[in-house]
Chains A and B, each alone.
Chain A
Amino acid sequence: MPVKKIITRRDFLRAGACITLGSFIGLPHGEGSPESGEGRSRVVLVRDRGVLDSKEQINRIALQDMLDGAVTALLDAPDPSSAWRRLVTSRDIVGIKTNVWPYLPTPAPLNEAVRKRLVEAGVRQENISADDRGVLRDPVFQRCTALINVRPMRTHHWSGLGTLLKNYIMFVPQPSRYHDNACERLGAIWQLPHVKGKTRLNILVMLTPLFHGTGPHHFSRQHTWPYCGLIVSQDPVAADATGARIIQARRDAFFGGDRPVTPLPRHIVAADTRFGLGNSRPERVELLRLGWQEDPYL
């Protein structure tokens, strides 16, 4: 018999920025937020069990297929080439914002898959750069007209989750200035002149996400699992919120019962309600599922 969840004052207090019961509880949207009106954000979740072998090594062909399938579905395009040509033009200078965290970096094969499609869409090789911590010094990023945001999702000591939104923290010279209140103001970075409006695609890597971490290095292999997925969207908030629900569900299943992500990843909802960067609430997300459907945690 299911146990009825009692909403406590703590639940109520954190409702503005939290994940409970496996789903986001969001505050009412700000009237003026540009992407949170009537529109819904499309998010594609693509999974392929064959993308990882028994040692969790990546099958490059399967990964390219996943990316292609996701981008094509996201944009309702007839094929991957057409889809990428809608994202970039030959005049674009493209920064691929990766994440180099050593225990769970953006996979090199995924960078290569993105780069391949960018070149095929007409972007010149010399106008493409993949970087993380050096983006402020990277000459391509300094003059970029487009950004592709690619990173794995993981729990994070101070922001609750390492997200697509958080991945742009390297676009400011002093990232720690955005650490207050569990990094709630990360959305503000997306409004800086050298960042605003440039992001064409967000890819949240869910191949082996980290759902729990302890200690200074915050990583243990036992707290990852082969989810074998990518979450792809033009809305970073919707992609992150979707990934967050998966992480939360996995935590609850692994630990048995409610085990909220801590600290609360309030920056996701804040990016929606305060900074107008996208949609965090499930009812504002149009989720397309492709590929492997087992244990989706969603």
Chain B
Amino acid sequence: MGMELPADRVPAGYATGEAVRKALFFLLVTLAAGSFSLVMTRKSFAGSLETLAEALDRQVGAWTATGQDGTYDGETIYDYIDGAGEVYRAYNMRGCLSRRYAAAGEPDIVLDIFDMGSSEDAFGVFTHDRDGSPADVGQDALYRQGWLSFWKSRFFVSLYMERETPAAKETAFHLARAVASLIGEEGRKPAILLGLPPQGLRDGSVRYLHHPMLLNYHYYLSDENILNLGEETDALLAMYSRDGKRARFLLVRYANPEKAKEACSRFLSHYLPEAEGKGPLRLENGKWADASLKGRFLAVVLEADSRSLAEDLLAEAKECP
């Protein structure tokens, strides 16, 4: 299953012998399965939340897991995190494992592991909350006071400290690394990221989403779903900065060019009815907006400080797989 013990759980003098045994085991499996094992590699990370729960220590330093683990699906998630469950459902959550760690005189640490079904959606839900400082856990991690989150493979992981203390923070990071290690292999980011113009893309500004409510959460556009967003669409919202000029950019991939064209037409008629295909339109606040089609991709400059920046971003957006 690709399970790995966290480095700090490996007894001294054990590592070398264990490494040899692992190598031999891997060789035997590879020989037995031939090239098929290589095909299977992408699916060989931790298979389920149950597997992770079994493998993860219930004692971490002074903290001990209390009570039974909670497990939730797309319906029961509301019982656990109330309306916040909708955010995870909007990214196709398959399940959630919750475990609470407690220590005498210290705040509880709540570990939540969300199985998002795909690495793309694990990345997506991670991008929903982008405040915080980058941390070295999983494929991307962010730390803010009292909360550490990361994503790896198809899992999004949250460690919430009910009150932050130095010991709780250290333990949360330790736990996070243990979970990341158990998850094993990394997953792919959404392919649509390749369609974003790279120049001037602001670090940490990208949000990947499907649901129109989430677009409105980050950038209110309309009560109506004027871009026809939904489960079959992938969308990226990103910020750019070039030569002191800034822009907010949206890229959406539809199921086919016809649907992209339909969405473009709907967007223009609802949001930029004056545009009439004459290029970027100056908005009431002096910023520029426009949209353009590229096959099944719709690129939208929602706000740019200059006309030329809007034109450049639309020209540079690429079709991608």
Return the contact of A216 from the options B112, B145, B217, B221 (Cβ within 8 A).
B112
> With A179-B86, A214-B131 in contact, do A262 and B147 touch (Cβ < 8 Å)?
no
Query: Residue A115 at the B interface, CB < 8 A?
Result: no
Return the contact of A17 from the options B83, B110, B223 (Cβ within 8 A).
B223
| Chain B minimum-CB-distance residue to A262 | B217
Q: How far, in angstroms, from A22 to B310 measured CA to CA in the complex?
A: 31
Query: Residue A10 at the B interface, CB < 8 A?
Result: yes
| Chain A minimum-CB-distance residue to B159 | A215
| A214 and B147 contact, CB distance less than 8 A | yes
Query: Residue B104 at the A interface, CB < 8 A?
Result: no
| A216 and B158 contact, CB distance less than 8 A | yes
Q: Which DSSP category, helix, strand, loop or mixed, fits chain B's interface? A: mixed
Query: Residue B88 at the A interface, CB < 8 A?
Result: yes
Query: Residue A8 at the B interface, CB < 8 A?
Result: yes
Bitwise interface map of B from 111 to 134 toward A, beta carbon under 8 Å scored 1, else 0: 010100000000000000101000
| A101 and B82 contact, CB distance less than 8 A | yes
Bitwise interface map of B from 61 to 95 toward A, beta carbon under 8 Å scored 1, else 0: 00000000000000100100111101110000000
| A222 and B147 contact, CB distance less than 8 A | no
Return the contact of A10 from the options B145, B146, B163, B220 (Cβ within 8 A).
B220
Bitwise interface map of B from 276 to 310 toward A, beta carbon under 8 Å scored 1, else 0: 00000001111000000000000000000000000
Size category of the binding interface on chain B: 35 or more
| A158 and B83 contact, CB distance less than 8 A | yes
- Residues of chain A contacted by B81 (CB below 8 angstroms): 216-218
Return the contact of B86 from the options A9, A158, A266 (Cβ within 8 A).
A158
| B146 and A220 contact, CB distance less than 8 A | yes
Query: Residue A124 at the B interface, CB < 8 A?
Result: no
- Residues of chain A contacted by B82 (CB below 8 angstroms): 101, 156-157, 218
| Chain A minimum-CB-distance residue to B78 | A176
Query: Residue B242 at the A interface, CB < 8 A?
Result: no
Query: Residue B314 at the A interface, CB < 8 A?
Result: no
Return the contact of A217 from the options B160, B216, B271, B285 (Cβ within 8 A).
B160
Return the contact of A156 from the options B83, B145, B271 (Cβ within 8 A).
B83
| B284 and A9 contact, CB distance less than 8 A | yes
- Residues of chain A contacted by B222 (CB below 8 angstroms): 13
- Residues of chain B contacted by A176 (CB below 8 angstroms): 75, 78, 86
4 smallest beta-carbon distances between A and B, as pairs: A158-B83, A157-B84, A158-B86, A214-B129
Q: Taking beta carbons and an 8 Å cutoff, which residues of B are in contact with A?
A: 75, 78, 81-84, 86-88, 110, 112, 114, 129, 131, 144-147, 149, 158, 160, 163, 213, 216-218, 220-223, 271, 283-286
Q: Taking beta carbons and an 8 Å cutoff, which residues of A are in contact with B?
A: 6-10, 13-14, 16-18, 101, 156-159, 175-176, 179, 181-183, 214-218, 220-222, 260, 262-264, 266
A-B contact pairs, 13 of them (CB 8 A): A6-B284, A10-B221, A13-B220, A17-B223, A157-B86, A158-B213, A159-B83, A179-B86, A216-B112, A217-B158, A217-B160, A218-B81, A262-B218
17 new A-B contacts, CB < 8 A, other than A175-B78, A218-B81, A263-B216, are A7-B284, A8-B284, A9-B284, A13-B223, A17-B223, A156-B82, A214-B147, A215-B129, A215-B147, A215-B158, A215-B160, A216-B114, A216-B160, A217-B84, A218-B82, A263-B217, A266-B223
